[in-house]
Amino acid sequence: MEISIIALPLISSIIAGFFGKFIGDRNSEIITSFLVTISAILSLLVLYEVIVNQYQENIIIATWINSGTLDVNWSMKIDSLSAVMLVVVTLISSLVHIYSIGYMSHDPHKPRFMAYLSLFTFAMLMLVTSDNFIQLFFGWEGVGLCSYFLIGFWFKKDTANSAAIKAFVVNRVGDFGFALGIFLIFYLFGTVNYSEVFEQIPMIIDKNLIFLGMEVNAIDLICLFLFAGAMGKSAQILLHTWLPDAMEGPTPVSALIHAATMVTAGVFLIVRCSPIYEYSDLALNIITIVGMSTAFFAATVALVQTDIKKIIAYSTCSQLGYMFFAAGVGAYNVAMFHLFTHAFFKALLFLGSGSVIHAFKDEQNINNMGGVWKKLPYTYTLMIIGTLALTGFPFLSGFYSKDAIIEFAYLRGNTTGYYAATIGIFTAFITSIYSWRLMFKTFHGEYNNKNIKIEETHESPLVMLIPLVLLSVGAIFAGFIFKELFIGYGGVNNFWQDSIFFLKPLSTEHPPFWFLILTPILVILSIPISYYLFIKNKNLSELIANNNKPLYLFLLNKWYFDELYDLIFVKSSKKFGLFLWKFFDVKLIDGFGPDGISIFIKKCSLKAKKIQSGYIYQYAFIMLLAFSALLTFLIIK
């Protein structure tokens, strides 16, 4: 049963990819959706076994590498952590597959798209079920490759190709650090298997290494290298620039990449390696700072964006920041709880935005929408549920997980924890403002689209709405149902067993009452504030933007990260490459190589050509000179 969870998406990818043109578009869609749905059902059964019977298993599928001390297997590690990820990945993926049947109905390359989705799912499943760092890296690179295929799926669009390349290159930066971390682990421990590495970590607590001329603690160095990989994959600040551009892919791709799979791989990595990170206060503090900085940065940028998908993409970036600073304060289980609930409401919002885009015939600018809540009642209602869950409205899923992160950051009791909690509360308020801005501008107010009549907008078909309904159930109830299971009393219970390691038990205290109610109050207040700013008195929001033009442009241009990277890396690299080409390639290599030799031979041939004049007396004179030279040589000899 367990192996089928991984095998079925791979089989569906092969069928759709290699035989799609023979079996037809509709059969490709049905087969891939059916097989991935079966995988999701089996994943739910595995999670049930883990919850009820504390089921754990490490299934060896095949031997992969066996050389010296390096012994690596293809395996499937089943424990609490991987069981949760299996459900998240397969469940969201199956709903995205079904949704894609309606959304991609007019696309001429449906089998290829479904094959990419299934292959992406397979790579993510390989990642989360690995029992060693090499298989983890295989899945890690697999989702990176598939994201390149999916983001650039509409390859005739230059912007899609550029976005795909950007995602691929930026992720390679983080993956370079990740690879160094794996090399260092093998160098220190002689193995890359989780269990063997984690057992030896306490033995090298005081071991130092020389890195770049500095003496660094070995565990700190391992953690920072691994975190570099997590930053790239999970789009944390400095390595986040690929994520909003990835919206060039079809909307189902956005839901799959940004809700449950690729971007959560970094969070999963940190939590899986908790037996290492618990011994590195430096790394945990850095993770907390990066996480809360990302949460704040992305939320501020989302305030002024106008592309409906990019607003939700920056929201994803911000929520990932919450997950990271939860891990940074040692609340790994809470980070996983938010990852779990986030998958439902963020997939709901992405697929809901796809329904809106479908209704507006590919329009994505929220300024060109408005006034359609009666025309799209189901999409509107479902997106309201997703928005309430995202903002942390009381008793929806986001309320339980996001507030838990802020509370555990406060209970950490150190400066970093207090700072993270403060930023978390303020970011939650901003999140609520931009989320309701999106809803009000999209569905309320006046109808602003000049290209499409409001009568032409229409509700999405059932094949697109049913996945939204199922996701809305998770967005409403997942937090309440799974709160005790994931967090439990004091943050630790039997569910996680030894899949998450706590060196220091999480605090069992409760924050002050005023602290507990502060975030929900701000979230509730943000609704009338947003309505007043973006519907009732739109001139006020425009006046605020005009009076703070530098700040507005700063946020609109995403803190100028793209421009800064273009100046520092892109333009300088192009200039350096141009210099290498013109000087080394053209002048040195070509000049003294093939071009130089050919020019020399050409010149010699032109000189020799002049000897062939056609006059007999010149030929006789040359023969005489040659004969004289030969006689002279023989006499001297």
Contacts of 159 (CB under 8 A, 6+ apart): 248
Mean pLDDT of the region 596-612 = 77
Contacts of 199 (CB under 8 A, 6+ apart): none
Cα separation, 313 vs 298, in Å, equals 9
Q: Is 593 exposed, middle or buried (0-12, 13-18, 19+ CB in 10 A)?
A: exposed
For residues 238-265, one letter each, b for 16 or more C-beta atoms within 10 angstroms of the residue's C-beta and e for the rest, the string is bbbbbbbbbbbbbbbbbbbbbbbbbbbb
Per-residue pLDDT for 581 more than 90? no
394 phi and psi, to 5 degrees? -50, 130
Say what the pLDDT of residue 414 is: 79
Mean pLDDT of the region 533-537 = 86
Q: Which residue has the tokens 């005739």?
A: 156
Per-residue pLDDT for 590 more than 80? no
Count helices and strands (H / E) in the chain.
27, 4
Mean pLDDT of the region 300-325 = 92
Q: Is the alpha carbon torsion for 535, 538, 541, 542 positive or negative?
A: positive
pLDDT tens digit sequence for 342-353: 999 999 999 999
More confident residue, 130 or 591: 130
Say what the pLDDT of residue 82 is: 93
DSSP reduced 3-state for 62: strand
Per-residue pLDDT for 517 more than 50? yes
Torsion of the alpha carbons at 462, 465, 471 and 472, rounded to the nearest 10: -120
Q: Judging by DSSP bridges, how do beta strands 70-78 and 208-211 pair with one another?
A: unpaired
Establish how many alpha carbons lie within 13 A of residue 586's alpha carbon, considering only the half-sphere containing its beta carbon. Answer: 7
Cα separation, 319 vs 311, in Å, equals 12
Cα separation, 428 vs 402, in Å, equals 9
Cβ atoms of 473 and 480 closer than 8 Å: no
pLDDT tens digit sequence for 112-169: 999 999 999 999 999 999 999 999 999 999 999 999 999 988 888 888 899 999 989 9
Cα separation, 637 vs 631, in Å, equals 10
Per-residue pLDDT for 431 more than 70? yes
DSSP reduced 3-state for 255: helix
Per-residue pLDDT for 615 more than 80? no
Contacts of 170 (CB under 8 A, 6+ apart): 232, 239, 241, 242
Per-residue pLDDT for 282 more than 70? yes
368 is written with which tokens? 């060109």
pLDDT tens digit sequence for 213-271: 888 999 999 999 999 999 999 989 989 888 888 888 888 888 888 766 788 899 999 99
**Which stretch of 209-218, 284-293, 418-427 has the lowest confidence by average pLDDT?**
209-218
Q: Reduced to 3 DSSP states, what percent helix, strand and coil does the chain have, rounded to the nearest 5?
A: 75, 5, 20
Show contacts of 423-426: CB within 8 Å, 24+ apart.
Answer: 423/292, 423/293, 423/295, 423/296, 424/292, 424/295, 424/322, 424/325, 425/518, 425/519, 425/522, 426/296
pLDDT tens digit sequence for 52-79: 888 898 899 888 888 877 889 899 999 9
Cβ atoms of 309 and 443 closer than 8 Å: no
Q: How many CB atoms lie within 10 A of CB 169?
A: 12
Q: Which of 54, 122, 46 lies closest to 83 in space, CA to CA? A: 46
Say what the pLDDT of residue 360 is: 87
Contacts of 623 (CB under 8 A, 6+ apart): none
Cα separation, 316 vs 322, in Å, equals 10
Per-residue pLDDT for 491 more than 50? no
Mean pLDDT of the region 269-294 = 93
Mean pLDDT of the region 362-383 = 89
The pTM score is: 0.89
Cβ atoms of 165 and 570 closer than 8 Å: no
Q: Which of 547, 311, 604, 291 lies closest to 442 in space, CA to CA? A: 311
Q: Which residue has the tokens 């959560």?
A: 264
Say what the pLDDT of residue 493 is: 55
Cα separation, 256 vs 95, in Å, equals 9
C-alpha distances in Å from residue 125, one per residue of 9, 256, 307, 429: 9, 13, 31, 35
Strand partners for 193: 132
Residue type (1 letter), 159: T
Per-residue pLDDT for 490 more than 50? no
* pLDDT > 70: percent of the chain: 98
pLDDT band at 492 (very low <50, low <70, confident <90, very high): very low
Per-residue pLDDT for 186 more than 60? yes
Q: Is 122 exposed, middle or buried (0-12, 13-18, 19+ CB in 10 A)?
A: buried
Mean model confidence pLDDT for the chain: 88
More confident residue, 489 or 270: 270
pLDDT tens digit sequence for 9-47: 999 999 999 988 889 889 999 999 999 999 999 999 999
- How big is the chain, counted in residues? 637
Say what the pLDDT of residue 260 is: 60
Cβ atoms of 320 and 260 closer than 8 Å: no
Say what the pLDDT of residue 585 is: 79
Cα separation, 117 vs 257, in Å, equals 10
Per-residue pLDDT for 547 more than 60? yes
Say what the pLDDT of residue 417 is: 85
More confident residue, 338 or 609: 338
Cα separation, 146 vs 408, in Å, equals 36
Per-residue pLDDT for 617 more than 90? no
Q: Is 121 exposed, middle or buried (0-12, 13-18, 19+ CB in 10 A)?
A: buried
